[in-house]
């Protein structure tokens, strides 16, 4: 019992190091993006535009069945892109959709959403009535969120992150902003490693940080220390950029080549979205 309590209160191990490990894993493991698969073979620009179109379609449709069709299509794409379906489902369904399901549960009941009763029960002397509009609304909400999250995760998994960030230029985002985003992304891993090393050092010296107040101080000191090191680093990075010929006007290298396959894919995506919109309005 005491060891369980001890373990539970070791917030460094439980929350900080695990969160940082996730960040490092996510930033480094472009394993799926480097695999051979259908989505990996597409030009990132065309893929991003098509996925944005799917996303807007999923958010705009008002029928759970049609959004579900898009979700099914997303799973098929994941399969043909060599993404393990079990891992994909775990990653996409366990967090935001499950959280959304919890949020939307009260709306199932007549007390929140009045309407035609579908099922009634009695628990601890309280009558519960699930209504048709409540159930339909909850299904629509959760299916839409599951589909949206799946689309974004699939795009992110099958595209190299640096390329995905470069695609931002397509949408008229200023070059300086794109460069800032790209540089920020690169330094995330460095910061994550820096913070992880500090916490490991703290842990090796003081053991388990179980007291709440002590834990708060450790976090605050760590953030302050990270800030000091980042400001020092920004000067060094600027000098390094100058030494490599940075003149204040950023230039990004991008080698995107569109193939006939990319145009066909884009056409298919437009047809699918238009078809779903058409079905949704008739």
Partner 1 sequence: MHIPDGYLSPETCGVFGAVMIPIWTAASKAVKKTLSVRQVPYLAIGAAFSFVIMMFNVPIPGGSTGHAVGGVLVAILLGPWAACIAVTVALVIQALLFGDGGITAIGANCFNMAFVLPFVGYYVYKLISSNSPSGSVRRVIAAGAGAYVGICVAALFAGIEFGFQPLLYHTANGQALYCPYGLNVAVPAMVLGHLMVFGWVEVIVTALVIKYLQKQNSVFFEGGRS
d(CA 82, CA 80): 6
Residues in 32-71 at the binding interface with partner 1, rule: CB under 8 A? 52, 55-56, 58-60, 62
Answer for which of 94, 201, 223, 271 binds partner 1 (CB under 8 A) is: 223
Query: Would you say 195 and 222 are in contact if contact means Cβ atoms under 8 Å apart?
Result: yes
Residues in 2-21 at the binding interface with partner 1, rule: CB under 8 A? 8-9, 11, 14-16, 19-20
For residue 216, the minimal CB distance to partner 1 (Å) is 5
For residue 179, the minimal CB distance to partner 1 (Å) is 6
Residues in 144-163 at the binding interface with partner 1, rule: CB under 8 A? 144-145, 147-149, 152-153, 156, 161
Q: H or E element: which one contains 122?
A: strand 117-123
Distances (CA, A) of 45 to 21, 142, 164: 30, 29, 8
Torsion region of 110: left, alpha or beta (phi above 0 gives left; psi -120 to 50 gives alpha): alpha
**Would you say 51 or 265 has its CB closer to partner 1?**
51
Residues in 77-106 at the binding interface with partner 1, rule: CB under 8 A? 92, 96, 100, 104
Residues in 160-199 at the binding interface with partner 1, rule: CB under 8 A? 161, 164-165, 168, 174, 176-177, 179-181, 183-185, 187-188, 191-192, 195
Does the protein bind partner 1 through residue 280 (CB under 8 A)?
Answer: no
**Tokens 């499950």, residue?**
98
How many residues bind partner 1, per CB under 8 A? 81
d(CA 24, CA 187): 11
| DSSP reduced 3-state for 40 | helix
Query: Would you say 253 and 165 are in contact if contact means Cβ atoms under 8 Å apart?
Result: no
């Amino acid at each position: 019992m005491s060891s369980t309590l001890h373990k539970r209160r070791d917030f460094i191990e439980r929350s900080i190091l695990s969160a940082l490990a996730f960040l490092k894993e996510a930033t480094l493991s472009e394993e799926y993006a480097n695999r051979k698969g259908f989505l990996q073979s597409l030009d990132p620009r065309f893929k991003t535009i098509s996925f944005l179109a799917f996303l807007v379609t999923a958010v705009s449709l008002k029928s759970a069945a049609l959004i579900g069709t898009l979700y099914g299509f997303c799973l098929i794409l994941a399969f043909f892109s060599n993404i393990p379906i079990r891992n994909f489902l775990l990653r996409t369904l366990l967090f935001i959709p499950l959280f959304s399901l919890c949020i939307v549960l009260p709306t199932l009941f007549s007390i929140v959403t009045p309407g035609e009763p579908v099922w009634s029960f009695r628990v601890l002397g309280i009558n519960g009535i699930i209504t048709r509009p409540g159930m339909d609304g909850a299904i629509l909400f959760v299916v839409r969120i599951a589909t949206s999250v799946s689309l974004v995760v699939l795009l992110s998994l099958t595209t190299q992150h640096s390329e995905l960030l470069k695609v931002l230029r397509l949408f008229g985002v200023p070059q300086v902003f794109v460069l800032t985003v790209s540089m920020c992304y690169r330094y995330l891993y460095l910061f994550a490693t820096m913070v992880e090393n500090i916490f490991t050092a703290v842990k090796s010296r003081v053991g388990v940080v179980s007291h709440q107040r002590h834990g708060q101080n450790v976090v605050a000191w760590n953030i302050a220390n990270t800030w000091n090191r980042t400001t020092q680093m920004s000067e060094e990075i600027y000098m390094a950029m100058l030494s490599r010929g940075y003149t204040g006007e950023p230039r990004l290298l991008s080698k995107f080549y569109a193939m006939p396959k990319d145009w066909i894919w884009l056409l298919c995506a437009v047809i699918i979205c238009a078809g779903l919109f058409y079905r949704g309005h008739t």
